């Protein structure tokens, strides 16, 4: 295998349920979940788990609670229908689109907002990439294009280059963004060759995804410093998760340590109401309280926006005092960018 492709060995080196049960004396029954929601963990990420139910275990190892009756929905933002004018493209905001490049990831996160599709679909992105380009060409208002999935960096360097070159040809000045979790789950993916390709099509921003400082290692530091050497700006979108990071210490350590590896904390998402993730959704008021404490006690540069995504197309809103207009027994009332009021469940 060519050196530039050696990261693929880490992708295919998967840990089996039997190994996990043996190492942590876990109940095999939890793996029946994967008949509904796929399970995948590579040896690198597995090596970071220290004990059963620690912050990394909760993100990566199935839990029977995923199959319990849920208040959530599979696709609360109707991405698959209303917002998808062309397969594998989501057009929700006027100037912005999301391309669903891959349905695979290095680890399948139990809290994933696209849990309904990651690891379950045959990949079809490259079958209709020319339709996507035609759509983008006929919509001048689109100037911000996000490569997402699944994880877009699970496809080969050649395919990444094919996508970026195609987009850059028709959208000369647009912002291109890559949303990838590989910096935390598969840092070996960030190779010199990949960085050279991304640099060719700048400006290309990378937003990655870390939820706990246990995910920050020598390998992740090597990956982020390498990307920075190529002038690729790095941000992080974390998710506020029960048992993983729903306390002041976990979040202050995470955000401060991200800055130390040159990754700017950008958003802390309150988890969307996705079916099968209720057990990981913390109290929203707790999140607001922790964010207030963080603003006073860590570098301003390390503090992200705490965001919710409103139902019925209300869009993303930062949970700041000026946007919270009222409160009921089990909801808060939030104003969106158009001044419209929405109820969001607590
Ligand atoms: S890496 Fe992203 S897309 Fe993949 S399972 Fe995790 S949250 Fe979902």
pLDDT of residue 111: 97
pLDDT of residue 261: 98
Residue-wise pLDDT tens for the chain (346 aa)? 888 899 999 999 999 999 999 999 998 888 899 889 999 999 999 999 999 999 999 999 999 999 999 888 888 888 887 788 999 999 988 999 999 999 999 999 999 999 998 988 778 899 999 999 999 999 999 999 999 989 999 999 999 999 999 999 999 999 999 999 999 999 999 999 999 999 999 999 999 999 999 999 999 999 999 999 999 999 999 999 999 999 999 999 999 999 999 999 999 999 999 999 999 999 999 999 999 999 989 999 999 999 999 877 778 899 887 788 888 888 888 888 888 888 887 7
pLDDT of residue 70: 87
pLDDT of residue 274: 94
pLDDT of residue 134: 97
Give the CA distances from residue 65 to residues 69, 211, 322, in Å, rounded to whole numbers and listed in that order.
9, 20, 36
CA-to-CA distance for 276 and 79, rounded, in angstroms? Answer: 18
pLDDT of residue 79: 83
- Residue 22 designated active-site: no
pLDDT of residue 271: 96
Q: How many Å separate Cα 31 from the centre of its chain?
A: 23
Contact present, 183 and 106 (Cβ < 8 Å): no
Q: Establish whether residue 105 lines the binding site of ligand 1, counting it when its CB lies within 6 angstroms of any ligand atom.
A: yes
pLDDT of residue 344: 86
CA-to-CA distance for 111 and 90, rounded, in angstroms? Answer: 20
CA-to-CA distance for 165 and 167, rounded, in angstroms? Answer: 6
- Residue 242 designated active-site: no
φ, ψ at 127 (rounded to 5°): -70, -30
Atom of ligand 1 nearest to the CA of 108: 5
Q: Whose CA is nearest to atom 1 of ligand 1?
A: 181
Q: Choose one of 37, 112, 210 to mutate for the ligand 1 pocket test, by most ligand atoms within 8 angstroms of C-beta.
A: 112
Q: Set out the domains of the chain in order of their start, with CATH numbers.
A: 69-310 (3.20.20.70), 320-346 (no CATH)
pLDDT of residue 72: 86
CA-to-CA distance for 170 and 131, rounded, in angstroms? Answer: 13
Angle between the N-to-C axes of helices 192-200 and 157-170, in degrees from 0 to 180, rounded to the nearest 10: 10
pLDDT of residue 312: 73
Span from the CA of 259 to the centroid of ligand 1 (angstroms): 22
Q: Sign of the CA dihedral 262, 305, 149, 42?
A: positive
Cα–Cα nearest to 67, from 102, 11, 29? 29
CA-to-CA distance for 112 and 199, rounded, in angstroms? Answer: 29
Atom of ligand 1 nearest to the CA of 150: 3
73: its two tokens:
């929905």
Q: Whose CA is nearest to atom 7 of ligand 1?
A: 112
Number of helical H runs and strand E runs in the chain: 11, 12
Q: Establish whether residue 112 lines the binding site of ligand 1, counting it when its CB lies within 6 angstroms of any ligand atom.
A: yes
pLDDT of residue 76: 83
Q: Establish whether residue 154 lines the binding site of ligand 1, counting it when its CB lies within 6 angstroms of any ligand atom.
A: no
């Amino acid at each position: 295998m060519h050196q530039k492709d050696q990261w693929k060995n880490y992708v295919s080196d998967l840990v089996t349920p039997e190994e996990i049960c043996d190492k942590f004396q876990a109940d095999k029954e939890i793996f029946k979940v994967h008949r509904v929601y796929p399970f995948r963990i590579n040896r690198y990420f597995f090596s970071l788990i220290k004990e059963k139910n620690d912050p990394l275990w909760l993100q990566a190892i199935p839990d029977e609670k995923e199959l319990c009756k849920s208040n959530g929905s599979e696709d609360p933002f109707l991405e698959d229908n209303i917002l998808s004018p062309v397969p594998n493209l989501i057009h929700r905001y006027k100037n912005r689109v999301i391309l669903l490049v891959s349905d695979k990831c290095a680890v399948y996160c139990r809290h994933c907002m696209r849990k309904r599709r990651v690891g379950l679909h045959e990949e079809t992105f490259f079958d209709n990439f020319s339709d996507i380009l035609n759509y983008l060409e006929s919509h001048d208002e689109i100037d911000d294009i996000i490569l997402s999935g699944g994880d877009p960096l699970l496809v080969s360097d050649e395919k990444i280059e094919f996508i970026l070159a195609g987009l850059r040809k028709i959208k000369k000045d647009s912002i291109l963004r890559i949303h990838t979790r590989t910096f935390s789950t598969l840092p070996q993916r960030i190779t010199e060759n990949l960085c050279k390709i991304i640099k060719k099509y700048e400006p290309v921003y990378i937003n990655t995804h870390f939820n706990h400082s246990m995910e920050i290692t020598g390998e992740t530091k090597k990956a982020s410093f390498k990307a920075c050497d190529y002038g690729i700006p790095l941000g992080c979108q974390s998710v506020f998760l029960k048992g993983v990071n729903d306390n002041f210490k976990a979040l202050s350590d995470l955000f401060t340590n991200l800055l130390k590896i040159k990754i700017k904390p950008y958003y802390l998402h309150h988890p969307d109401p996705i079916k099968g993730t209720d057990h990981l959704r913390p109290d929203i008021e707790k999140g607001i309280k922790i964010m207030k404490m963080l603003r006073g006690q860590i570098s301003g540069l390390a503090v992200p926006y705490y965001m919710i995504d409103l139902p019925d197309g209300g869009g993303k809103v930062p949970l700041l005092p000026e946007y919270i207009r009222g409160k009921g027994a089990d909801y808060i009332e939030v104003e969106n960018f158009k001044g419209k009021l929405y109820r969001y469940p607590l």
